Structure 1
Amino acid sequence: MTKTAWVFPGQGSQLVGMGVDLLETAIARERYHQAEEILGWSILDCCKGELEILSQTLYTQPCLYVISAILTDLLREKGCRSAVMAGHSLGEYAALYAAGTLDFRAGLKLVQRRAELMDDASGGKMVAVMGFDRDAIDAAVAAIPDVVLANDNHADQIVISGSPTAVDALLASVKIKRSVPLKVSGAFHSPLMAQASQEFSEVLQSVLFRDAQVPVIANVEPTPATDAATLQERLMQQMTGPVRWREICLALTEMGVEEVIEVGPGKVLTGLVKRTCPGMKLTQMGTLANLAAYTSADSCVEVA
């Protein structure tokens, strides 16, 4: 049997029109209705609107969570199971839902509050960096205050985060091939998010976490875990801690995973997995057509 991992995308994977085809299913109709009751606005209307609005943190994060959760439900309905879950930043919430640690409503309420706090953040800067000497980057991060390595996506792509002055100083001090400023309001996954993280932790502590039914690999500590308290603590650390995606990919290989399924819009994560784990079977699961093709090929497997 193929040992499969489900991975869930984060902010940056949003696409206009995503999730609209899912409305053909009863599961999606119910989830969209529940989401509108919680959020006070329509996921579908937002996804059918303009990219500029959809790409605002306040809307992007709930939309991605809900669509990933629906796709998870549809995979389960077809008898599909995964041996391990992981998500990139926001995607960790969908991973925890898929693992049975959070219920749908609790997860969405957390994502809504997270999005509000991150949308309100200001005074920070994030830049994606490609083509660099890793030792030089690490040395610069250690030497320059108020800048961190926020996302370690693969060996040749990272994201740095911090105060604008510190980020610019790092970029000026290290030879790189390409840099792309991210359209975000704050220095996400850095200590500059400490105040927002503290506010969010108070909400997080009030939510019931259950032991995961399958292991979840967290962003800040890329080792598989099922214990509810451990997973909750790791999620608390996420807003100020790094996304260690490269190490997550390596952990999947160490666990004997043979196929990675990206459960959500786009193919960002499978692209990153491909760079770190060549030879891994990769599958996108963002549409009903993807689901139909996957299940008609008898690809659903149950691996403990």
Structure 2
Amino acid sequence: MSLSLVESPKPKQRILVVAPGRGCYNKDELGYLNRYHADKKDFIENIDEYRHLHKQPSIASLDAEAKYSFKLHTPGENASALIYACSMSDFMDIDREQYEIVAVTGNSMGWYIALALAGALDEDGAISVINTMGSMMADGLIGGQLIYPEMDELWRLDSAKTQLLDTVIAEVNNEEGCALFTSIYLGGYRVLAGNEAGLKRAETLLPSIDDKYPMRLYNHGAFHSPLLGQVSERGKAALAAELFHKPTIPMIDGEGRIWTQYSTDTQKLHDYTLGHQVLAPYDFTKAIAVGVKEFAPDKVLVLGPGNTLGGPVAQALIAMQGFGWQSKTDFTQAQENEPKLLAMGQEVQRALAKGE
């Protein structure tokens, strides 16, 4: 009697999924929805029905524009919904036969997207929260943001740059009429938020690097700072706690806190999302570290559009020696052999994420 050998199924790879924030839908991403997600018409139409009711241009038409326009594509009321649609659509394309999604997180506005990925916001709730918060400064920006490196050439945190940034923040805030705060800890970068006087003063105090930094972030308000008190209050008034649900996938927020399907208090989730998350620094670096330490993923996957978040994720991993990486050299060598960091904004890695 012969025994037939049945091949056991290959175990799924565990992945931490990361949602991007503002500033990732740029010239090269124009047409992203049509290029990759023409099959998601119902999802996109649902978003555009909501936007039609609010007399806003459809994301389908924004994505289909012949030319990329800073004036049209970067304001929060358009960029937020467009980025959410791209990211959520990418999430739908992840091959669930090959990958087990063990947790989700996001950078800045990516926290709202993470809520949607995890089911803490349903489809209608997600576009309501994302569009409402993204439209809060449609009548005029409150403050602004700039970004500055906090790392050396090998993507390791540089304590001298950290001290410089902290000193500049303190010095600027000691000057009359100036306000400056840490907004986001972004891997090897620090994002600062402030009023116009504070940002201008910081630009004079921070040494120029590569004729590029300090870099102002176009059409960005003073996110994650006390300057957005009014935005937080308006958000709480406009968005009911009933929109929020217990997640079906664990979520890691901008303080490194884990929200699970077992422990989440939806009122506290509402309060954090529209309160502390709006007003206090967003520690994206810590969120990545917690995700890797607590959930031990085999890979980290960054959703599109684009791949502006790939570098900061790698830098955050290097900072905590994730996957054994201690420098940019370790990261690039590892990526050539067997990628541990997948970005759906890159064609080859996108195919890996989709199981193609």
Tell me which interval the TM-score lies in, with the shorter structure as reference length: 0.7 to 0.9
For 2:98 and 2:123, locate their aligned partners in 1 and report how far apart those are by CA, in whole Å.
19
Corresponding residue of 2:334: none
Corresponding residue of 1:48: 64
Tell me by how many angstroms 1:232 deviates.
2.2
Corresponding residue of 2:310: 270
The alpha-carbon distance between structure 1 residues 123 and 106, as it changes in their structure 2 partners (threshold 3 A), is closer
The alpha-carbon distance between structure 1 residues 32 and 248, as it changes in their structure 2 partners (threshold 3 A), is same
The alpha-carbon distance between structure 1 residues 79 and 39, as it changes in their structure 2 partners (threshold 3 A), is farther
Q: Larger relative contact order (C-alpha < 8 A, sep ≥ 6)?
A: 1
For 1:275 and 1:185, locate their aligned partners in 2 and report how far apart those are by CA, in whole Å.
23
For 2:205 and 2:86, locate their aligned partners in 1 and report how far apart those are by CA, in whole Å.
41
> Any stretches of 5+ residues in structure 2 without a counterpart?
1-11, 151-159, 174-178, 324-339
The alpha-carbon distance between structure 1 residues 295 and 168, as it changes in their structure 2 partners (threshold 3 A), is closer
Does the aligned pair in 2 maintain the 1:17–1:47 contact within 8 Å? yes
Aligned residue pairs, count: 293
Per-residue CA distance 1:156-184 (angstroms, 9 max, x = gap)? x1111111212233343454633111112
Task: Give 1:1-304 correspondences, 5 Å limit.
Answer: 1-14=12-25, 15-25=29-39, 28-40=40-52, 41-49=57-65, 50-52=67-69, 53-75=72-94, 80-131=99-150, 133-145=161-173, 146-155=179-188, 157-175=189-207, 177=209, 178-184=213-219, 186-219=221-254, 221-226=255-260, 227=264, 228-236=266-274, 237-255=276-294, 256-278=296-318, 280=323, 281-286=340-345, 292-296=351-355
Corresponding residue of 1:301: none
Per-residue CA distance 1:206-239 (angstroms, 9 max, x = gap)? 44211111211112x2121121334322211222
Per-residue CA distance 1:141-162 (angstroms, 9 max, x = gap)? 244332101111123x111111
The alpha-carbon distance between structure 1 residues 30 and 296, as it changes in their structure 2 partners (threshold 3 A), is same
Does the aligned pair in 1 maintain the 2:14–2:100 contact within 8 Å? no
Tell me by how many angstroms 1:122 deviates.
2.9
Per-residue CA distance 1:95-142 (angstroms, 9 max, x = gap)? 111111100111101111111103334351311112562123223324
Which is higher, the Rg of structure 1 or of structure 2?
2
Root mean square deviation, CA, Å: 2.4
Does the aligned pair in 2 maintain the 1:72–1:98 contact within 8 Å? yes
What's the % identity of the aligned pairs? Answer: 20
The alpha-carbon distance between structure 1 residues 207 and 67, as it changes in their structure 2 partners (threshold 3 A), is farther
Aligned partner letter, 1:109: S
